[in-house]
Chains A and B, each alone.
Chain A
Amino acid sequence: MFSTSTAPPAGSKAIASTALRNAGLIDKDTQMRDMTDKQGGRKGSSKISSHRHRPIDQFKNARPGSSSRTLTSSARISSSASHAGPSDPLSIRGASRPTAAGRMRRNAVSASGGSSSSSSLPTRVTITRGAKTIEFWREVVKKRWNPEIQFLNLESLIDDEVVKRHNLSSPGLGGGSAREAAVIFKLAGELKPPVKTLSLANNKLADLDFISGRKEKLLHLRELLLIGNPVRDFEYKNNRADRYKQELTRRFPSLEVLDSEPVAQISFDVQQAPAAIPVKKPDATTFPYPMSGSFITGVDGGLVSNFLVRFFALFDGQRGQLVDAYDPQASFSFSVNTTIPIRARVQGLHTSKELPNQRKLEWSHWLSAGEGGSRNLNRMHGGLERAVKSLHIGGDAAVKAFQTFPGTIHEIGGPPEKFCLEAFPVPLGANAGMGLLVSLHGQFTELPVDGVRSFDRTFLLAPAADGSRAKLNGWDVVILSDQWTIRAYSSPEAWKAGDLLVQAQAKSTSNGSASQNQLPQSVISSLPTEQQSALATIPEPQRNLVIQLMSRTNLNVKFAVDCLQNNEWNMDKAYANFEQVKATLGREAYL
């Protein structure tokens, strides 16, 4: 199901696809197919090798990889209508599906000006639409758009007079042309005010791949009708109505009514209308509050630290033993954020000498670990099945997932500045008692590579009841929820208590810098720890000079001290000296 095949546009002339591409209405590497593609001609494209014509395979079937995203096509509609003439709208072509994913299609041989009905040409003539087609579709959309009630009625397009008049190829028409649908949806997405109700009833749509709320920006769609389309009928007939509904609600997160049935959902009590009283636009240039240290309230700090120390000792050493710490209904999931952190990159943390193994770290085994993989709902392929599979319920399932992760060393008992914690009581629900929300941020060493990762782990805890499995195994609290995010290493300086800067501070110029007595704490605190320790050993007033030189030149403490010493602690001389020799300095001189 959810498959598609392409039907060539009915009887149109060859026009370069550039117009459409330039209008951003189709992807750069796609092309339209033409009704008049002849059998035995040469195929204009290939999934494998993009630059050669190959013998046409008009009856291309079941290309498993070619369906986008999660839904693999099962049946493909293949064509035996190789003799279909240009005027036959129901002719169905072999189902090679033009996906956006970088399929290189040659512009056809038909650049020859492509007469669409030249049956003498052995080559496959790919004919593309031009700007005119977009305008025709715009006409159709405009005709069927009711801005007052924000209703776009695209039902039964095949019977539409404008469609017929311009010989437009209706999406879903005997199999569907993805290009047409893409054009229509792009136009729909541009309508103002935004489309709230969309009907695509009775259009012979067999595939949903080309309609996606996010891509086509139908983000305000409240109601959708797909009755009378094979894509719906097929799923219902095969007892997959639930899956059909889920796939649609996933594509259109704002959907409230589908095929006249309400969609079960959770909303947030936020009005979309603009505020009655105008409010101040945010324009502050400084943070109103500094960074504070760990925050624990409403609970004995010892209870929290005992839990964490024991939990991570077991996680590092004997994961199986953690099974008792989880409530039978507890859920565990993990999520991997593979983005390279910008500040860490700017500081060169992952290529620094202190962390020699960062480059050896890989994400692949994390992403596929845990019997269901990383649970990043932002980019979940695999739909609902995957969302379910990557959520582990109960201690046994959690521990089973743990066994698939690389070894870890958390060192919770080690230097405390490497970790940061929030812990406070929270209601579990209306009339459901209180739990304890514990968020820990820190780092661990990943084995065997011996590289460092950063993590955030949030637990929802409840007191362990007497006689419960948790209590009997020495746990004072039981885990109700455990969500673990693993990301590339970032320095724990991020949460070092003190003032936070929005922008960098203006640097002092070389004249008059001597008057600056005390540099802000935050400049010092942004230095790596071992640099700060080195600085701490230098007495005033030399220390200030060292810091000044460091911030002007980016030299590290050792080299800044050398430079100043060699210049009798005269800042201007030292800086000039630096300028003279900086071309010869290696990386070891700098921060």
Chain B
Amino acid sequence: MTTIPSTTTTLTPSDIEIATRAADNFTRLFYTAYDSDTRLAELPQFYRQTSSLTWNGKPFQGVDGVRSLINDMPPTKHEVQSFDCQPIPGPQPPSLMVTVSGNVTHGKGPAGNPPNTPAKTIDGQPRVFSQTFMLLPDPTAPPTKPGEVAKYYISADSLRFVG
């Protein structure tokens, strides 16, 4: 690992504002894609070949890795309850670290449990999840919209069921 270069600039409120908006946009886009019927087409677009991700401790690499992860994943319904985003000190435009906390239901939820399932069963109930993303500007994707600072992609993604 190399040390970070000294071209760090102090964060301005404008940086924070753009980062906050980006994170807001991102969480909406990402989880909508994850929960959609066309997840297999939409989700890989967020990643690149260099992306690394882990799902409950199992590692995957690149767009192909994402596909093999979600190919046989049950349908999901995510509910984001809190998220936070920080711009990372370093070159501009800044990388972003986003952490998300919320609920995820797989399959049909408690309604999909067999009849006579005891009331205290947790199976089928939504789980609490924690997910961290590193979002980086893509140097190969030039801005296409007015005002666009850069196009970002998910460089790292780590998810864990935590409750």
Contacts and interface: CB of A to CB of B under 8 A. Distances in A.
Interface of A: 242, 246, 249-250, 253-254, 256-257, 261-271, 274-275, 277, 279-295, 297, 327, 329-331, 333-337, 339, 341-344, 346-348, 375-380, 384, 387-388, 391, 393, 420, 422, 424-437, 439, 441, 454, 456, 458, 460, 462-463, 465, 480-481, 483, 485, 487, 490-491, 494-495, 497, 500-507, 526, 551, 554, 591
A6 B25 CA distance: 33
B28 to A, nearest CB: 8
Interface in B41-100: 41-42, 45-46, 50, 52, 54-59, 69-76, 80-91, 93-97, 99
A298 to B, nearest CB: 9
A306 B34 CA distance: 36
Contacts of B46: 268-270
Given A329-B10, A429-B137, A269 B151 contact: yes
A456 B81 contact: no
A493 to B, nearest CB: 9
Nearest to B147: A262
Interface string B96-137: 110101110011100011101111111111111010101111
Contacts of A281: 37-38, 75
Contacts of B28: 253
B84 A377 contact: yes
Contacts of A462: 1, 3-4
Given A391-B16, A435-B1, 4 more contacts: A282-B39, A339-B81, A344-B163, A377-B83
Contacts of A264: 14, 18, 147, 149
A465 B71 CA distance: 43
9 contacts: A285-B74, A337-B81, A376-B82, A432-B5, A433-B1, A433-B4, A460-B97, A483-B99, A485-B99
B136 A427 contact: yes
A424 B84 contact: no
A331 B20 contact: no
Given A264-B147, A268-B152, A347-B122, A432 B91 contact: yes
Contacts of B75: 281-284
Given A270-B42, A430-B137, A253 B21 contact: yes
Interface string B132-151: 10111111010101111111
A242 to B, nearest CB: 8
Contact of A507 (B76, B116, B138): B116
Contacts of B86: 331, 333, 391, 481, 483
A480 B89 contact: yes
Contacts of A344: 163
A502 B82 contact: no
A428 B11 CA distance: 16
Contacts of A287: 73-74, 106
A331 B117 contact: no
A290 B132 CA distance: 20
A254 B25 contact: yes
Nearest to A282: B75
Nearest to A488: B163
A561 B122 CA distance: 23
Contacts of B56: 289-292, 495, 500
Nearest to B130: A456
A551 B71 CA distance: 33
Contacts of B18: 264-266
Contacts of B27: 378
